[in-house]
A = this chain, B = another copy of it.
Amino acid sequence: MTRYEEIAAELRRRLDADLTPYPVGSRLPGHSQLTAEFSVGRGVLTEALGLLALEGRIRIADRSGALVLDPAAPPQPVDVGGQVRRNELGYIFNAAAGHWRPTVPPTRRWLPAPPHIARLLNVPIGSDVLERHRIVGPDGHPVQIADSYLPADVARGTVLEAASTGPGGIYDRLEHDFGHGPITWHPRIGAAAATPDQARDLGVSRGTPLLVLTRISISGTSGRPVEVTITYLDGHRFEVTGQSITRDDTAVWPTTPATAENRPAAL
């Protein structure tokens, strides 16, 4: 057990105690006080607090002390692949997002496609793609980053380069005005660490695990990807709920016989 793990464990114990000196919503003591109490250098303390931040026990985001979070707070559910709704801003793919609005106008820029975007859009790496970057949340509190990417042959010179894309948003333009309807969406769910920029945008600690929701839009006419949106949410606050599985699904029952190859080495 390293020193910073010991300190993290001790702070965790205090945060868990019934009459904790650090209740939810309060701030931890500063570095100077804690380094003195534990007789360690600042580096060790930073390591210990970093562990607690990665666990979602505290939030280190501004310079006003580490905020104590509620470890028992249940994650907010996010729908994926369920009912699709629509409002004047665009399509809504999960219920909670229906009450969210952009906190600032979206930023738009053309950039050479990085490898993972190029793969999703099926365009050459480095070819021009339009990025629309939005920060979204209820009444101004940012909870979600939504980055959309469109290939040049779809978006160049269109209203999709503008801040406002009109009623129904990007998808109404693509489906109704640009002849790409009906669109099929392909969702994927991943995890990534918040980059320094993303941590700033979302107000979370550096390196916070993020839930990454990727949605590829396939044109109904050409069959090609015309857009991809990548949504980032704080992994400590949100989780995706899936459809339940019942025993009916297990009716297909291809038992694999145990052989020398697949048998576990020792059980």
A240–B190 CB distance below 8 A = yes
How far apart sit A187 and B192, CA to CA, in the bound complex (Å)? Answer: 20
Fill in one digit per residue for A160-193: 1 if any B CB lies within 8 Å of its CB, else 0.
0001100000000001000001111111111111
Known: A84-B250, A85-B252. 8 other contacts (CB 8 A): A72-B119, A84-B249, A91-B250, A105-B266, A186-B242, A188-B240, A189-B240, A193-B207
The one of B104, B191, B264 in contact with A102, judged by C-beta atoms closer than 8 angstroms, is: B264
Q: A191-B210, A264-B102 are in contact. Are A115 and B71 (CB under 8 A)?
A: yes
Q: Which residues of B contact A190 (CB under 8 A)?
A: 75, 211, 235, 238-240
A164–B101 CB distance below 8 A = no
A84–B245 CB distance below 8 A = yes
A188–B55 CB distance below 8 A = no
B184–A245 CB distance below 8 A = yes
B242–A80 CB distance below 8 A = yes
A residues 216-267 near B (Cβ < 8 Å) are 220, 235-236, 238-247, 249-250, 252-258, 262-267
How many copies of the chain does the oligomer comprise? 2
For A101, the closest partner residue in chain B by CB is B264
Q: Can you list the 7 inter-chain pairs with the closest CB atoms, starting with the nearest?
A: A191-B235, A182-B247, A87-B256, A191-B191, A54-B193, A190-B239, A187-B242
B209–A192 CB distance below 8 A = yes
Which residues of chain A have a CB within 8 Å of any CB of chain B? 5, 43, 51, 54-56, 71-72, 74-75, 77, 80-89, 91, 93, 98-99, 101-105, 115-116, 119, 125, 140, 163-164, 175, 181-193, 195-196, 207-212, 214, 220, 235-236, 238-247, 249-250, 252-258, 262-267
B182–A209 CB distance below 8 A = no
For A253, the closest partner residue in chain B by CB is B86
A242–B81 CB distance below 8 A = yes
B187–A245 CB distance below 8 A = yes
A255–B54 CB distance below 8 A = no
